[in-house]
Amino acid sequence: MAFLIFRYNQDDGKLTSVTPYDEIPYGFENQDNAVGIEYDYDPETEFISALVLSEDKTTVTNKYPEKTVEEQKELWQQEIDQAVFSHNLNICVGIIKSQVRVLIEKLRFSELRAVELDALNGNNDNQITLARWRVAVRDANNAHEQLLLSSVTTQEQLDQFNLNWSEKFLSENPVPEFD
C-alpha cells in the first residue's frame, strides 16, 4: 500500500503533481492544495501521472484503465501536447487581435483632421472614409483569425502560420490621410 499526495495549484485548482510515499510523510495533513490518500499503487502497471483523484477526494482512479504503462505515458503525453497547442493557439489569436488596436491607433491624428475638414466643408465625407477603413481593418482581422482557427490543427502548422496580416493590409489599404 502506498500513500499518494495530490498537489493542486492554489490559484486555479488544477492538479500540479502526484507523489507516492511508502508511508504518510511526517506532519502531513490534508490541505486545500494537497490531499493525501492511501492507494494500492503499482508502478509496474500504472503511470503516476495517469492517476486522478475523485471530485470528493476519496477515490483514486486511472484515467487509462487496462492500458500498459507505456500506453498510459503516450496518452498522457498526447493530452499535454494538446493542452500546450490550445494554449499556443490562444496566444496566436491574441497576437492577431492586437494588430487591430495598433492599426486603429494610427488613426488618432487622421480622426482629428477629418472632423476639422468635414466641419469646414459642411459634410462628413472624411469621417465616413475613416469609418470604412476601421471596418475593413476589423474584417481583415476577423478573416485572418478565422483562417487560423479553421486551418490549423497541429503545433507544426501553428509554427508555420504567418500571424502578421497587418503589413499586407496596410500595403493594400494605406491609412487615410487628409490635406
Residues 112 and 34 in one domain: no
Position 26 pLDDT exceeds 90: no
Contact of 37 with 55, CB cutoff 8 Å? no
User: By C-alpha distance, which of 153, 169, 170 is closest to 161?
Assistant: 153
pLDDT at 62 (0 to 100): 94
Residues 75 and 60 in one domain: no
* Mean pLDDT, rounded, for 146-150: 96
pLDDT at 178 (0 to 100): 82
Model's pTM, two decimal places? 0.77
Domain edge (last residue) among 66, 86, 112? 66
pLDDT at 75 (0 to 100): 97
Position 27 pLDDT exceeds 90: no
Contact of 133 with 173, CB cutoff 8 Å? yes
Q: Percent of the chain beyond pLDDT 90?
A: 73
Q: Percent of the chain beyond pLDDT 70?
A: 100
Position 37 pLDDT exceeds 80: yes
13: left (phi over 0), alpha (psi -120 to 50) or beta: left
Give me the domain span that covers residue 109. 71-172
Per-residue buried b or exposed e for 4-34, using 16+ beta carbons within 10 Å of the residue's own CB: bbbebeeeeeeeeebeeeeeeeeeeeeeeeb
Residues 149 and 82 in one domain: yes
Position 165 pLDDT exceeds 90: yes
Residues 62 and 78 in one domain: no
Q: Cα–Cα distance between 43 and 170 in angstroms, integer?
A: 58
Residues 53 and 115 in one domain: no
Residues 86 and 142 in one domain: yes
Position 33 pLDDT exceeds 80: yes
* Mean pLDDT, rounded, for 12-32: 85
What is the tens place of the pLDDT at every residue in 85-136? 999 999 999 999 999 999 998 888 889 999 999 999 999 999 999 999 999 9
Residues 82 and 135 in one domain: yes
Domain edge (last residue) among 17, 50, 66? 66
Domain edge (last residue) among 23, 49, 66? 66
Q: Cα–Cα distance between 170 and 44 in angstroms, integer?
A: 60
Phi, psi of 90 (to 5 degrees): -65, -40
Return the higher-pLDDT residue of 90 and 25.
90
Please check whether residue 178 lies inside any domain of the structure.
Answer: no
What is the tens place of the pLDDT at every residue in 41-77? 999 999 999 999 888 888 999 999 999 999 999 999 9
Please check whether residue 177 lies inside any domain of the structure.
Answer: no
Residues 103 and 166 in one domain: yes
Contact of 177 with 110, CB cutoff 8 Å? yes
Number of domains in the chain: 2
